[in-house]
């Protein structure tokens, strides 16, 4: 259930000029998916931002896409955190700009200490690629305002290091501050061990920073924006960003 009266996502973004950047690292392979989801679904100006650049080109929001940045050597995201552009990404986020890290992007944000915790090998030590169900735990802007709390989404995952871990103190603080925004669940919204595909602590699939403008999530909403692909449940994330940018 979308919260917006107009079902055309492009109309939401089209109220004001919006420009969104997608960072490309060596080894990124979901940057084009993310670029297309933003550009074609929302019909807004979208630019690629090269990892060596120091110019964000005046973007209003930034996506760090999935893939295998720098071959995932050392650890997933461990080298990408030192990319030149990450200095600008950090400054952009500190200034309140929306930054969303998807899959490898989530790993990079954790390695850069822009989000707490870490992503480690899946509990079965295998790469997993399949649709999963997510329960929306927060409907706050800028990323999730198009959804309802408790809404169940179907979104694909594709990762080998997607098990989110943190110490109990960090996990308790995330829970207390309502910063856990997505959890793995079954089709009915139940949080169960069987519905947790990678062993993530407390079925966590997505979190935000203290100010709510930095999101990290392992599932791929950019691969769930057209019913032809099996689900368009990911559209809400992009709609949420567009709606937020139209009001700030």
When divided into structural domains, the chain yields a total of 1
The answer to the question of residue 100 being in a domain is yes
pLDDT at residue number 17: 79
pLDDT at residue number 1: 36
Q: Is the dihedral of CA 33, 35, 36, 42 positive or negative?
A: positive
pLDDT at residue number 142: 98
Residues of the domain holding 68:
9-247
The answer to the question of residue 4 being in a domain is no
Q: What is the DSSP string of 36-61?
A: HIIIIIH--EEEEEETT----TT-SE
pLDDT at residue number 205: 98
CATH code of the domain in which 78 resides: 3.40.50.880
The answer to the question of residue 223 being in a domain is yes
Annotated catalytic residues are 103, 220, 222
Q: What is the DSSP string of 73-135?
A: -SSTTTTGGGSTHHHHHHHHHHTT--EEEETHHHHHHHHTTSSSSEEE--TTSS-EEEEEEEE
The answer to the question of residue 1 being in a domain is no
The tens-digit pLDDT sequence of the chain (248 residues) is: 334 444 555 555 445 679 999 999 999 999 999 999 999 888 899 999 999 999 999 999 999 999 999 999 889 999 999 999 999 999 999 999 999 999 999 999 999 999 999 999 999 999 999 999 999 999 999 999 999 999 999 999 999 999 999 999 999 999 999 999 999 999 999 999 999 999 999 999 999 999 999 999 999 999 999 988 889 999 999 999 999 999 88
The answer to the question of residue 2 being in a domain is no
Tally Cβ neighbours within 10 Å of residue 109. 31
The answer to the question of residue 54 being in a domain is yes
Q: Is the dihedral of CA 136, 129, 165, 37 positive or negative?
A: negative
């Amino acid at each position: 259930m979308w919260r917006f009266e107009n079902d055309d996502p492009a109309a939401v973004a089209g109220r004001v000029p919006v420009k969104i950047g997608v960072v490309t690292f060596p080894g990124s392979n979901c940057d084009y998916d993310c670029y297309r989801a933003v550009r074609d679904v929302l019909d807004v100006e979208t630019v690629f931002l090269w990892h060596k650049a120091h110019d964000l080109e005046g973007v209003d929001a930034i996506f760090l896409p999935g893939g295998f940045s720098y071959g995932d050597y050392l650890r997933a995201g461990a080298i990408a955190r030192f990319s030149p552009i990450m200095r600008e990404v950090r400054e952009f986020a500190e200034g309140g700009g929306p930054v969303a890290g998807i899959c490898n992007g989530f790993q990079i944000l954790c390695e850069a200490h822009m989000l707490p915790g870490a992503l480690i090998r899946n509990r079965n030590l295998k790469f997993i690629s399949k649709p999963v169900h997510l329960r929306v735990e927060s409907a706050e802007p800028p990323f999730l305002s198009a959804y309802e709390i408790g809404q169940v989404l179907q979104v694909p995952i594709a990762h080998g290091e997607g098990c989110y871990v943190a110490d109990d103190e960090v996990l308790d603080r995330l829970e207390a501050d309502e910063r856990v925004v997505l959890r793995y669940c079954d089709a009915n919204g139940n949080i169960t061990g069987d519905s947790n595909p990678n062993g993530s602590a407390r079925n966590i699939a997505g979190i935000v920073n203290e100010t709510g403008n930095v999101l990290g999530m392992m599932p791929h909403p950019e691969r769930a924006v057209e019913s032809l692909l099996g689900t368009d449940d990911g559209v809400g994330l992009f709609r949420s960003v567009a709606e937020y940018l139209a009001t700030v």
